Structure 1
Amino acid sequence: MRAHLVEPSTRQILAYCADDPVERVFLADVARRESGRFVALENGDGALHALCHLGTNVVPSGSGCGAFAEVAARVSPRMLIGEQGAVTELWDAARRRLPRAREDRLSQPVYLSTTPPEPGGTGLRVATRADLDVLVPACARAHFEELGVDPLRRDPSGFRWRTRAQIEEGRSWLWLEDGALRFKAEASAWTPEAVQLQQVWVDPPVRRRGYAARALRDLIRLLLDEVPAVCLFVRAENAPAIHLYETVGMEHVLDYRSVLF
């Protein structure tokens, strides 16, 4: 029977995401929080073969994602992001309905770790609310380096609120020593099957001293005590970051694509 568009149930979403918990970690996290809007392609037996989160970031997954073009365009996204084949199908179908892309990031490698690396021996710890004034500007700089947008100019109060929320949810870690952030990172998604990291960042004055590799090893070890997989993705041209992830033993397992507006 031909697949058709549906608004999927949380049960359907989680069953779909369970088939690939690393590629679909963000989708599963949003569904578990019951905080997002989804559309899906449903087979005749009630199973999904494609899924799409609709929001500021439109995140497709699966095959036949061109079917989401019209509804994705209606939400005026700032980004299409996800597994490269799914994003390509959606972008090819929706590009006439969406603004001209300001950047198209192809072949962004997704890295995975399932085995604890050697300890890094750092002062890495979970961030607390007392760290907020240190983390807000650091997270803003990391955001600007990654996306070319200064969130403290676009939405300062909202960005501060989101940074605080990450801290309060236990999704933010840092290594602060001698007044410098030797390392910081956040979790962009967290499920029982995987944690996806984002904004791995070191203060520019203390870069290239090996702090990031040591702290990332400690963070991966910490997280693998709670979930079976730690993953992240990176721009294809970011050679220093790719070297870092491979140095700590992460494996390139698939590719994402990001279309930014």
Structure 2
Amino acid sequence: MRARLVEPSTEQILAYCADGPVERVFLEDVARRGNGRFVGLEGDAGLVALCHLGTNVVPSGRGCGAFADVAARAAPRMLIGEQEAVSELWGEARRRLGRPREDRLGQPVYVSRTPPEPGNTALRRATRADLDLLVPACASAHYEELGVDPLRRDPNGFRWRTRLQIEEGRSWVWLEDDAILFKAEASAWTPKAVQLQQVWVDPPVRRHGYAARALRDLIRLLLDEVPAVCLFVRAENTPAIRLYEAVGMEHVLDYRSVLF
């Protein structure tokens, strides 16, 4: 049977994601929350490709060029996902999506499956009392990563999303005298993996080893709950890559991001 576009069920999505729990962690997280829109490419044995449609269009699998029409109608701000899947989709959809402001190839995805040595920090889950300190920090991390200031684009929405991360237990912080020695959030969480984002330290206290110590503690904490902790990073971000390799994370695949 020739592969055809389908609106997949949650059961189909979870079965597909089970074959690549790190690469597909975001797709599985959204499906489990029940608030995403998906399109799939179905073959004889089930889904061979899957795509989340939203502000971020996230393809996975082979034959992702088949998602070009629906991806263009979603008018995304970014295509992001496993490099070959994004490349297939972008190759078919580029004329309909317009000129990107940035195309980030070869973004390494790192994974930890073995607890590192303890960092002996005061890392903890963030609380609502941390919100006013974390909102500008998260905005700075967002700007450093994507080149967009979320407090100019949508300040109320960004504050709400930061608060929601805290309330869901997806935000961690290490503070000392109101200086953020380390912070990070979980962008996706499934029974098999947690994906971290916005690993960040206040600029005045960088280069003191705080990030490595706190990241080791965070990985240890999360590996008590899931088998894998993962994240991805820009290929040119050498300091971050050195950090992730220093705490024992392994480079397992590459992402690509096309930003509009």
- 1:44: Cα distance to partner? 2.9
Work out the CA distance in 1 between the residues paired with 2:18 and 2:229.
16
User: Residue type of the partner of 2:20?
Assistant: D
SS of equivalent residue, structure 2 residue 195: strand
Would you say 1:72 and 2:67 are equivalent positions? no
Deviation for aligned residue 1:147: 0.2
Asked if residue 212 in structure 1 is aligned to residue 221 in structure 2, the reply is no
Amino acid corresponding to residue 26 of structure 2 in structure 1: F
Residue 183 of structure 1 pairs with residue 172 of structure 2: no
Deviation of the 1:117 alpha carbon: 0.2
Counterpart-to-counterpart distance in 1, 2:84 and 2:44: 23
Deviation of the 1:218 alpha carbon: 0.2
RMSD: 0.4
Give the CA deviation at 1:99: 2.0
How far 1:159 sits from its partner (Å)? Answer: 0.1
Superposition TM-score, scaled by structure 1 size: 0.99
Amino acid at match of 1:19: D
> Which 4+ residue blocks in structure 1 deviate beyond 6 angstroms?
none
CA distance in 2, matches of 1:3, 1:142: 41
Give the distance between the partners of 1:141 and 1:243, measured in 2 at CA: 21
Alignment correspondent of 1:202: 201
Separation of aligned partners in 1, 2:7 and 2:112: 33
Structure 2 residue matching 1:116: 3-state secondary structure: coil
CA distance in 2, matches of 1:143, 1:151: 7
Distance of 1:214 and 1:229 partners within structure 2: 18
CA distance in 2, matches of 1:99, 1:160: 30
1:255 aligns with 2:254: yes
Aligned to 2:167: 168
Secondary structure at the residue paired with 1:212?
helix
Q: Which residue of 2 aligns with 1:240?
A: 239
Gapped regions of structure 1 (runs ≥ 5): none
- The whole-number CA distance in structure 2 between the counterparts of 1:245 and 1:233 is 10
Letter in 1 for 2:22: V
CA distance in 1, matches of 2:178, 2:187: 26
Residue identity over aligned pairs, in percent, reads 84
Equivalent residue of 2:72, what SS?
helix
Distance in 2 (alpha carbons) for counterparts of 1:127 and 1:87:
34
Corresponding position of 1:229: 228
Which residue in the other structure is 1:44 paired with? 44
TM-score (norm 2): 1.00
1:195 CA drift (Å): 0.1
Rounded to whole Å, the distance in 1 between the matches of 2:178 and 2:74 is 42
Q: Provide, for residues 173-197 of structure 1, a one-character-per-residue CA deviation record: whole Å limited to 9, x for no partner.
A: 0001122000000000000000000
Unaligned segments of structure 2, at least 5 residues: none
1:8 aligns with 2:8: yes
